[in-house]
């Protein structure tokens, strides 16, 4: 009987060891996700900190308009449908290029990140105003022709189409002069905010 008791005790101790080994690995994976979770939250909060609440809300509305199938992700088909609804046909290459800008699926946070990366190089309003002040011909206004000539001649030269597009939003008075301060405000904040919308 002594041998049987020893065998019984060995079986029980082996069973307990096996149970404790099964239980031991469980805490290790549980400790890893919180750090990943913190990292994800940290990067997500940085993206949201780049924009005002009003801007985030506008991006959210735009995201919801583009997300045609309402699955929480913007796909190539969503972008195609959005352009179709605007009356513009896009090639597969253009759509692939747009989708490829994101390193992964385009959810709302990724959508904000893409736009955040695009505007991170945008100058502040005072920098733009100071640049336009070089063209000030009195009372904070400049001639459209002078600005056009400069944009197509020096620095990173604009094409005629780019100049027309850039100046299409410029606030002009009846003499064809551009209001520098208002134009800089529109360039940095958008036409709706400039009008108080």
Domain ranges of the chain: 47-120, 125-189
User: Given its phi and psi angles, is residue 196 left (phi above 0), alpha (psi -120 to 50 degrees) or beta?
Assistant: left
Is 125-189 in the same CATH topology as 47-120? yes
Residue 90 has pLDDT above 80, yes or no: yes
Instruction: List the beta strands (DSSP E) in 19-132.
Output: none
The CATH code of domain 47-120 reads 1.10.238.10
Number of Cβ within a 10 Å radius of residue 111? 20
Q: How confident is the model at residue 18 (pLDDT cuts 50, 70, 90)?
A: very low
Short-list 26, 41, 181, CA closest to 109 = 41
Token pair 């041998």 in the structure block, residue:
3
For residues 139, 140, 145, 148, the Cα torsion angle rounded to the nearest 10 degrees is 170
Q: 125-189, superfamily in CATH?
A: EF-hand (1.10.238.10)
CA 129 vs CA 38, 121, 155, 163: distances in Å: 40, 16, 18, 18
Between 125 and 161, the higher pLDDT residue: 161
Residues 6+ apart with CB under 8 A from 63: 74, 108, 111
pLDDT of amino acid 129: 73
* pTM for this prediction: 0.43
């Amino acid at each position: 009987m002594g041998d049987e008791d020893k065998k019984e005790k060995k079986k029980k101790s082996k069973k307990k060891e096996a149970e404790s080994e099964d239980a031991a690995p469980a805490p290790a994976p549980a400790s890893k996700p919180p750090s990943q979770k913190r990292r994800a939250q940290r990067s997500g909060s940085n993206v949201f900190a780049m924009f005002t609440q009003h801007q985030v809300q506008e991006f959210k509305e735009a995201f919801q308009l583009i997300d045609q199938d309402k699955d929480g992700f913007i796909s190539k088909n969503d972008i195609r449908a959005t352009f179709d609804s605007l009356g513009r046909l896009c090639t597969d290459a253009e759509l692939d290029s747009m989708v490829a800008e994101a390193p992964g699926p385009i959810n709302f946070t990724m959508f904000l990140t893409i736009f955040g990366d695009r505007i991170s190089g945008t100058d502040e309003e005072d920098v733009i105003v100071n640049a336009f002040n070089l063209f000030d011909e009195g009372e904070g206004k400049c001639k459209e022709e002078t600005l056009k000539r400069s944009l197509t001649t020096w620095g990173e030269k604009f094409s005629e189409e780019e100049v027309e597009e850039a100046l299409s939003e410029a606030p002009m008075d009846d003499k064809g002069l551009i209001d520098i301060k208002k134009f800089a405000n529109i360039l940095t904040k958008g036409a709706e905010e400039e009008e108080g919308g």
